[in-house]
Amino acid sequence: MSRLERVSAGADTVLPGRRSNHHIFGLLPWVLLALALLLVFSQVRRPALLVEVWVPWIEVGVLAFVMTAIILTGGIDLSVGSMVALTGMVQAVLWQDWGWSIQAAAGGALLAGALAGGLNGLLVVAGLSPLVATLATMALYRGLAITVAGGDRITGFPQSFLDMGRLLGIPSQFWLAGLVFLGMVLLVHHSRFGRWCFAMGDNRQAARFAAVPVNKVEGVLYTINGLVAASVAVLGAMRHDAAIPDAHIGTELQVIACVVVGGTLITGGRGSVLRSLLGLAVISHLDVGLQFLSSRLVWLTAESRLIAIGILLILVAVWNQRSQKEG
Amino acid sequence: MKNEKPPILQAVNIRRTFPGVVALGGVSLDLFPGEVHALVGENGAGKSTLIKVICGALAPDSGELFFQGREVRWSTPVTARAQGMVTVHQEAELFPTLSVAENMALAAGLPLRRAGLVDWNRVHRQARETVRQIGERIDVRQPASRLSVAHRQMIQVAAAILQNARVVVLDEPTSALSGEEARWLFQQIARLKADGAGILYISHRQEEIFRLADRITVLRDGLKVWTRSRQSAGPEEMIEAMVGRPASTLGAAPSGQEGSPAVKEGPARFQVSGFTDRGDRFRQIDLEAGSGEIVGIYGLVGAGRSEFARAVFGLRPAEGLVRIDGSRRRIDRPREALKAGIAYVPEDRLSQGLCLGLPVRSNAVLSTLRRWTRGLLASRSREQQATRQVAGRLEVRYRSTEQPVQQLSGGNQQKVVLGRWLLAQPRVLILDEPTRGVDVGAKAEIHRHLRHLAREGCAILLISSELPEVLEHSDRMVVFREGEIAGEFDPRRASPAEVAALALPRQRAGEASAAESLSPGSRFQGRSFNELALLLCVAGLGLWLTVSTEGFSLLNLLTHASLWAILGLAAASVIVGRGIDISIGSMVALSAASTAMVLKLPYSAELLIPLAILAGLLAGTAAGVLNAVLALLGGLHPIVVTLGTLTIYRGLVIAMLGGKPMTGLPPEFGRLAIDPATGFRGAVVVAALAVLLVYLWMSHTRSGRHVYALGSAPRAAGLLGLSKSRLWPVTFGLGGLLAGLAGVLQLSMGQQMQARLGAGWELSAIAVAVIGGVSITGGRGTVLGVVLGALLLRLVNSALVRWGVSDQQTDLVVGSLILAALLLDLAWRGWKR
């Protein structure tokens, strides 16, 4: 296969499993994943435990699938973590202080998420840099999350609500992740909307000149992000029986890390949702695997895990860059 | 050659290759004093590479360059310029956020005073002199983005003359000039010639070349075809040499020889009446085009024709009536234009036409995606089919529908854009400079297709600033001048001279824009406004708090603000150079941990404290430089790199602490920041010193200004030899150093080192910078602004405490403040426009 064709395969981002794996460099994340998996499963005696350990990473993944689309358009949303915390608090306050039923309160949380995401979208459409605009709302939403209940956590949700935290014995987060993943794959790779996202990320002005409704695309994506953040918050409340105002601090960085390790270009125009799943798999396996190992290996402490993940992030990013560049 | 003098510039056998392409395959060229030497060739022939080598922006692989008889190897264009080798690049090469005066001085190297600081008085004096030379009234302190394109180029030429240049390279200098301005330019060229300077003149315009040039050199495919004197070269020979085949075989579509098809009865296919731009770039345009008709629109750059086209397509707000086939259409956005059957091929293929990284297919079907979906799902195979069909029709040369469009040649790229709109089956097709930068062969093909489309019933508006194109290929033509239709012609009967004369602006275009730029209030525009507003807020809030609050201590406020000012500067110094560092919080912790570790060593405090501080600062600087190095070596976006190092540095901190907070630091160390006995605030003194030094560096040294230039326009900076790889290690290093300083201060004030120290501070640091008016896209922001931003943030916090709002709401305040700052800035910019 000639170099040119390889480049075109790399640029054509629909399904890496189908096209980019011609490229030997593209295999690196898979290899790492396999190694990490080996690490994990050689250590586990009770797989059920594994599922529980994985829930926080699954939440990150749900957010990463939507973030992929946003980054593809050349945007970014730093406020996801804050939106999860805020919508969680909104639900709890609606239920506890306003006397709403827990279902109605969950609906209220989703609405709040859509509003928060919509505001992000509005700011971006108005012409603010997404990085700065969502940096501002990140602080703003966090502040609101702390303010609505005076900084306290709220617990004691009804049992019927907590019972929904599992479906068929599996934490609901997994079901949500499946749903969001499928939805985003369809939206990004198999719809007109997704084609628009790629065009915007590659050259926003040219997209506008080609009659792509750039404002609509951005508005919709950021709103979806708010909605999904709210779903994560509602499911989180079921799981922990608590709404915590300072939950999910730093989640945005983990989310972005998954997207980047997957190989989506941080400047947009190139990438895929499946790749972000890959990124999530690599990072989470490494983290969970090392966590398991650390009970045995004394030197494998929390800090060496952090350092390992940081180094991994940079290495994989460099690798992706090298294998996608040329031309 | 009758010239006895030795050549002033001589390029011998210059070779330069890029990966996969031989841009120059051994080209020689000489230039004598008092000579105008024209360099011509199609796009991609190697002209721009040759200029870049000559002016020092690019090093050749092999070959020699002689300047005034001596062999030279320019290290940067600035050194070349300092010796009298001036290059005026095409449009855009300008730093929009820097002042006009600084733009003029940067290329020659900013003049220095004895202390090594930039001599701003001289910069402004020289600039004013240059502006006087052109006879225009221009405020040299305003940002260059507010100059008209014509002014930008005239200023560069004027600066070259004042600088007593020996060689002047002019790259397409007239592309943005009106007739009057072009005449001015020709006078200046004559003047330079008389002074004995050599002029290398690059242009696509034949009339100019044969009017100005003494000798002509033709390049093709990276090789020199020939160099001849003007007398011995005719226009046809020149084109033949450029294209590589006889001009007669190019098969330009014979104009209107098929005759325009009889215009159908009834309403015109396309009609606008009373069409007026909201931004006043054109007024009261009445124009119609029938089915099958090609209407040529001729006008100089800036006459309002492109704005007119964009407004018709819904990209600019305008008032007036648009009728398609007699029915009235409201068009506020491109999608509505598309529905109405209007298509628009924009003037700048690369920035407006194509998504270069995406495949041919994605580009071709971008505007008609709905037609290729199956149900709700997009179908790649149907998209490919459509692409192949339209590409076949337009004879696009490509290898695969999945090939990135950037690999195609200019002409084929343009056909892809055209093909995109053919797929939309438009009733009205507007083309804005459809053959600019397209080689002669593809040009003829595009013209043939236009004629074909017209025959199928499309109404075509062909906009061009090349008179022959309009004359040859349209059935009817109108001339745009200063936003109005100045006249209408039958292209078969019109004389070119008559049309060209009509297109010339009556009033000098420069005067209108000069008047604009001197409108009242221009003094307070931009950053000074921002700082003024901040200052008022800070003063007002500070005064109110002092008066109304008992026990409010200005000193306490300053102490806290010190830390934030330093952090804000850390973020700002990186952002101004178009970087970003989100590992600031971890670097703060890293430096504090290093300091604490040294302090814990079993020696006397007097010995340890200086060492400890040094260790902290070093750790921060090293971390910052490492960020830059990783970003540069890995070719990564700095967000990605610092996202990684954010984790790594934090991990290192935890490892250094061994899981426990560090306490029991020597009390002498604590007294450095705040001495409770004497009330002395070391923190404030240190911060003031840091602010002063950073200010001096950023505003008064060459390297500091180079950082601004890089952030303002990286491409233009590259032409001056400024690159990320040279400047980022400095800016990121400075950011790290300042973060380190903040870490040491925080440790001294807090007297305790714990693992979470500084977590999340990167965002507050960026917030301070943004509130202080630093533009996140680089090139804009001042130290004073950042300091005011830090003060404002602290004051608002104190005010909240005064109002009884709890300390926890800091986030809320920070967030609202950034938003307010951003929205104000946005509103201000919008209002100014």
Find, in chain B, the residue whose alpha carbon is nearest to that of A253: B643
The predicted structure's pLDDT at residue B210: 85
The predicted structure's pLDDT at residue B520: 37
Identify any residues that bridge with A167 across adjacent strands, giving them in sequence order.
Answer: A170
The predicted structure's pLDDT at residue A114: 96
Per-residue pLDDT reduced to its tens digit, B622-631: 999 999 999 9
- Chain B residue numbers touching A147 (CB-CB < 8 A): 808-809, 812
The predicted structure's pLDDT at residue A67: 95
- Chain B residue numbers touching A256 (CB-CB < 8 A): 639, 643
Same domain assignment for residues B358 and B479: yes
List Cα–Cα distances, A115 to A95, A122, A230, B819, in angstroms.
Answer: 19, 10, 10, 16
Task: Determine the 3-state secondary structure of A256 from DSSP.
Answer: helix
Per-residue pLDDT reduced to its tens digit, B396-412: 888 888 888 887 777 78
Phi first, then psi, for residue B39 (nearest 5°) are -115, 120
- Mean pLDDT, rounded, of chain B: 82
CA nearest neighbour of B504 among B481, B527, B487, B474: B481
How far apart are the C-alpha atoms of A249 and A84, rounded to whole Å? Answer: 10
Average pLDDT over residues B601-607: 82
Same domain assignment for residues B604 and B464: no
Phi first, then psi, for residue B723 (nearest 5°) are -135, 160
B75-89, B174-188, B470-484: which is most confident: B470-484
Same domain assignment for residues B479 and B436: yes
Asked, for residue B100, whether it belongs to a domain, the answer is no
How far apart are the C-alpha atoms of A213 and A219, rounded to whole Å? Answer: 10
Amino acid letter for position B350: L
Same domain assignment for residues B277 and B241: no
Asked, for residue B390, whether it belongs to a domain, the answer is yes
How far apart are the C-alpha atoms of B111 and B101, rounded to whole Å? Answer: 12
Q: Which residues contact B267 (CB under 8 A, 6 or more apart)?
A: B323, B325, B326
The predicted structure's pLDDT at residue B43: 61
How far apart are the C-alpha atoms of B275 and B289, rounded to whole Å? Answer: 15
> What's the sign of the alpha-carbon dihedral B320, B324, B330, B335?
negative
Query: Is residue B67 pLDDT above 50, yes or no?
Result: yes
Concatenated DSSP letters of B89-109: --TT-S-TTSBHHHHHHHTT-
Same domain assignment for residues B280 and B244: no
Concatenated DSSP letters of B414-441: HHHHHHHHHHT--SEEEEESTTTT--HH
The predicted structure's pLDDT at residue B591: 94
The predicted structure's pLDDT at residue B253: 41
For tokens 């790399």, name the residue: A10
The predicted structure's pLDDT at residue B518: 37
Which pLDDT band, with edges at 50, 70 and 90, does B193 fall under? confident
Query: Is residue B9 pLDDT above 80, yes or no?
Result: yes
Find, in chain A, the residue whose alpha carbon is nearest to that of B398: A4
Per-residue pLDDT reduced to its tens digit, B219-250: 887 888 888 888 887 777 887 777 665 544 44
- Chain B residue numbers touching A267 (CB-CB < 8 A): 637
How far apart are the C-alpha atoms of B79 and B592, rounded to whole Å? Answer: 43
Token couple for B741: 């300083």
The predicted structure's pLDDT at residue A11: 35
Higher local confidence (pLDDT), B491 or A189 = A189
Number of structural domains (chain B) is 3
Q: Are B793 and B817 contacting, i.e. CB atoms less than 8 angstroms apart?
A: yes
Same domain assignment for residues B697 and B747: yes
Per-residue pLDDT reduced to its tens digit, A259-275: 988 888 888 888 889 88
Token couple for A115: 């509003």
B-facing residues of A in 261-320 (CB < 8 A) are 266-267, 269-270, 301-307, 309-311, 313-314, 317-318
Concatenated DSSP letters of B745-804: HHHHHH--B-TTTTTTHHHHHHHHHHHTT--TTSS---HHHHHHHHHHHHHHHHHHHHTT
Same domain assignment for residues B346 and B456: yes
The predicted structure's pLDDT at residue B261: 47
Question: Residue B36's Cα: distance from chain center in Å?
Answer: 30
Q: Is B404 on the interface with A (CB under 8 A)?
A: yes
Which residues of chain A register pLDDT less than 70? Answer: 1-30, 40, 43-44, 47, 295-302, 323-327
How far apart are the C-alpha atoms of A216 and B336, rounded to whole Å? Answer: 14
Q: Is A218 on the interface with B (CB under 8 A)?
A: no
The predicted structure's pLDDT at residue A304: 74
Per-residue pLDDT reduced to its tens digit, B407-459: 777 778 888 998 999 888 889 999 988 887 677 778 888 888 889 888 988 99
Query: Is residue B833 pLDDT above 50, yes or no?
Result: no
The predicted structure's pLDDT at residue B831: 53
How far apart are the C-alpha atoms of B227 and B98, rounded to whole Å? Answer: 40
Which pLDDT band, with edges at 50, 70 and 90, does B178 fall under? low
Query: Is residue B125 pLDDT above 70, yes or no?
Result: yes
Q: Is B813 on the interface with A (CB under 8 A)?
A: yes
Q: A12 and B402 in contact by Cβ < 8 A?
A: yes
Higher local confidence (pLDDT), B2 or B692 = B692
Q: Is A126 on the interface with B (CB under 8 A)?
A: yes
Find, in chain A, the residue whose alpha carbon is nearest to that of B580: A131
Token couple for B169: 């390279």
Testing the interface with B: which of A209, A249, A266, A325 to mutate, by most B Cβ within 10 A? A209
- Pick from B639, B643, B776: CB nearest A129: B776
Q: Which residues contact B761 (CB under 8 A, 6 or more apart)?
A: B567, B584, B585, B588, B742
The predicted structure's pLDDT at residue B537: 84
Last residue of a domain, one of B715, B730, B760: B760
Q: Which domain holds residue B22?
A: 9-89+165-173+198-248
- For residue B145, what is the DSSP state? G
Query: Is residue B90 pLDDT above 70, yes or no?
Result: no
Phi first, then psi, for residue B107 (nearest 5°) are -65, -35
The predicted structure's pLDDT at residue A224: 96
The predicted structure's pLDDT at residue A26: 60
Query: Is residue B516 pLDDT above 70, yes or no?
Result: no
Domain with residue B389: its CATH number is: 3.40.50.300
What percentage of chain B reaches a pLDDT higher than 70? 89
Same domain assignment for residues B502 and B563: no
The predicted structure's pLDDT at residue A7: 34
Question: Residue B608's Cα: distance from chain center in Å?
Answer: 49
ipTM over 0.90: no
- Pick from A128, A142, A314: CB nearest B641: A314
pTM of the model: 0.79
Count of CB atoms situated within 10 Å of the CB of B800: 16
Phi first, then psi, for residue B126 (nearest 5°) are -60, -40
Using CB atoms within 10 Å of the CB of residue B329, give its burial: 0 to 12 exposed, 13 to 18 middle, 19+ buried.
middle
| E strand map for A205-259 | 242-243
Q: Is A101 on the interface with B (CB under 8 A)?
A: no
Q: B373 and A11 in contact by Cβ < 8 A?
A: no
- Chain A residue numbers touching B344 (CB-CB < 8 A): 209
Last residue of a domain, one of B718, B744, B760: B760
Which sequence spans correspond to the domains of chain A?
53-248
